[in-house]
Amino acid sequence: MIRKLLILLLLSSYFIMLGCAAFIAGTGAGAGVYTYVNGELKTSYQATFDETNRVCTAVLKSLEMEITEKTSDSIKAKIKARQTDGTPITIKTVMRAPGTTEVSVRSGIVGIWDKKVSELIHASIAQRLQ
C-alpha cells in the first residue's frame, strides 16, 4: 500500500512539474503575458540571464536613459536608470531556469507609475531577444 502511494505521489509530482515547465516556456516564447503588480510590469523571456542583461542595458541606452546603478550576482540583477526628465526606471532580472529569465520593469515613483514606459521597454527587450 505504501509503495503504491509513493509511486502515485512521484508520478503526480512529475506531471505537475512537466505542466509548470510548459507554462514557463509558453510565456517566455513571446506570448505577451505580463503581470502588473505594484508598478512592476513582469514577464519571462526565453534567453540566458547574461544575454537578457546585455539587452536591458542596450535598450536603456537606445532610449537615451542614463544608467545610474547596476548590481548583479549570478542569478539576479538590478539596473537603475533615469529618463531625460529625471523619472526613475528600475529593471530587475532573475534567472528562473537555464535559458529563461524573468524581467520586471518599474517606471516612475511609488504611486505615480508609468505603465506605458514599462510596456515600451518590454517591447524593445522582446524585439532584441528575438
pLDDT of residue 79: 97
CB neighbours (10 Å) of residue 92?
18
CB neighbours (10 Å) of residue 64?
8
**pTM (2 d.p.):** 0.74
Contact 44, 28 (CB under 8 A): yes
pLDDT tens digit at each of 130 positions of the chain: 555 544 545 555 554 554 443 333 333 344 468 888 888 999 999 999 999 999 999 999 999 999 999 999 989 999 999 999 999 999 999 999 999 999 999 998 887 888 999 999 999 999 999 8
pLDDT of residue 3: 56
CATH of 28-129, one of 3.40.140.10, 3.30.310.80, 2.40.30.10, 3.40.50.10170: 3.30.310.80
Those residues whose C-beta lies under 8 Å from the C-beta of residue 56, and which sit 6 or more positions away, are: 79, 91, 93, 103, 125
Question: Structural domain boundaries of the chain?
Answer: 28-129
